[in-house]
Structure 1
């Protein structure tokens, strides 16, 4: 087996040992089904819990399937990205702090394989979890609110998947740069809070990669242009490549400072 395969197997064993293969998909599935179910039953919930006068009827505006998808993406963008930051921000930093990295550095290690194995396994876990979650959401949305465009749904999956890979790439870079605590804080800022800042500061520049999550949701309601999405995806791919490359270079440089 080549180094990448061996290191990827090591990363997967860590995913299994920490139960990330189980609890991350469960979180994404719960986020996916929570929005359509709660929205559908919200009038009954409010009527049973509230102190409404006799004969009063609580009427909510009718929601379309596309609007429910927007709300679901909002859940992924906040809670889902919190999961990314807390679950993966230590993938390089914790090994460096615990001394596990020292056992790797004494061997003829390919730092490209080392970083790519972490990036590939974590991306696979998150993409698989997202696909399960958004598919569960689509099932309940279709069941409770009606049909929607399958083509637009595939567009949502594709664009948000690019955002997930970008999020894990930024988290990987922060983990390579900083200790676990700072890496987590920096990851939270970049993938949870900076998209909100981006919406305010760069609202008139449509190509920032932090708009990918919004674009994925806007595809469902057909409120964005293919030109804007393609340019943004292209810039995101370049940023992903930059993050992974910098992580490799930083890991190689930091190896010289590890006490063996």
Structure 2
């Protein structure tokens, strides 16, 4: 592969100079900052909305830092994943439609490097933004609940980044194959729902990438015991990322550019 470093700089500049640099971090920081507050003041919010009598009739446990971290994990695995797919879905096909891909590939740039540069920069960007959100969640949770160990929120976020990498890779594969943005986004979202459904099967959740969603939630809640079963979803998830990106590179090498 040639011209890898310039490609990586180009991808980084594309993120810094477009809406991506603001949207994803803003979404993550918003959920990180508001999640602990909502967890802490849920009873008060219900009392204001329903009245004190009806709110008291709803049995709610006392809020804790663990619940705030669990809310952060839910936000990551239910909402933020969709933002990640939207960001990745148009990465390749938008450049193909606009003719930018053809101009880049006129230079001594391998098509495999072209695809991998998209993946590496997107995954790195998502990982950095997610951990920024995790730090904000830890700080706000500590301020609201007095004590909040950083391990669960940082560990859950690291697991989620592997899930995000799987979805980014699936969206890039579809983006390399199809011109339609909706098709690429649909592939990424479809992969997410497939993993979510398969994750409901204990045997699959224990040994396959389908376990990344429940594992994220378990690490955040502090219910996941360290052990060999914890690493199976992570290892198989990274393997799936490699397979999807290899397929994306193969598809893109055979694609005719305009």
**Same-fold call, TM cutoff 0.5:** yes
Partner residue in 2 for 1:245: 246
Shift of 1:146: 4.1
Q: Secondary structure at the match of 1:147?
A: coil
CA contact (8 A) 2:196 2:213 kept: no
Shift of 1:150: 3.8
Q: Secondary structure at the match of 2:60?
A: coil
Partner residue in 2 for 1:188: 189
CA contact (8 A) 1:84 1:168 kept: yes
The separation in 2 between residues aligned to 1:162 and 1:11, in whole angstroms, is 20
Deviation by residue 1:67-126 (Cα, 9 ceiling, x = unmatched):
321221111112101101111101011111222222123333212321121111111211
Q: What is the count of residue pairs matched by the alignment? A: 254
The separation in 1 between residues aligned to 2:227 and 2:233, in whole angstroms, is 10
Deviation by residue 1:2-61 (Cα, 9 ceiling, x = unmatched):
61121122212221222211221111111112221112122222222323459x687731
CA contact (8 A) 1:215 1:224 kept: no
The separation in 2 between residues aligned to 1:114 and 1:70, in whole angstroms, is 37
CA contact (8 A) 1:43 1:58 kept: no
Partner residue in 1 for 2:36: 36
2:150 counterpart of 1:168: no
The separation in 1 between residues aligned to 2:23 and 2:87, in whole angstroms, is 10
RMSD of aligned C-alpha atoms? 2.3
CA contact (8 A) 1:85 1:188 kept: yes
Partner residue in 1 for 2:257: 258
Q: Is 173-182 or 142-151 further displaced after alignment? A: 142-151
Q: Is 181-190 or 64-73 further displaced after alignment? A: 64-73
The separation in 1 between residues aligned to 2:197 and 2:238, in whole angstroms, is 21
Partner residue in 2 for 1:231: 232
Q: Is 131-140 or 173-182 further displaced after alignment? A: 173-182
Give the TM-score normalised by the residue count of structure 2.
Answer: 0.88
Over 3 Å counting, the alpha-carbon distance change for 1:123 and 1:214 in structure 2 is same
Q: Which has the higher contact order (CA 8 A, sep 6+)?
A: 1
1:1-260 equivalences under 5 Å are: 3-53=3-53, 60-179=60-179, 180-191=181-192, 193-200=193-200, 202-205=201-204, 206-220=206-220, 221-254=222-255, 257-259=256-258
The separation in 1 between residues aligned to 2:58 and 2:208, in whole angstroms, is 41
Over 3 Å counting, the alpha-carbon distance change for 1:51 and 1:177 in structure 2 is same
The separation in 1 between residues aligned to 2:32 and 2:253, in whole angstroms, is 39
Shift of 1:199: 2.8
Shift of 1:240: 1.1
CA contact (8 A) 1:43 1:59 kept: no
CA contact (8 A) 1:4 1:117 kept: yes
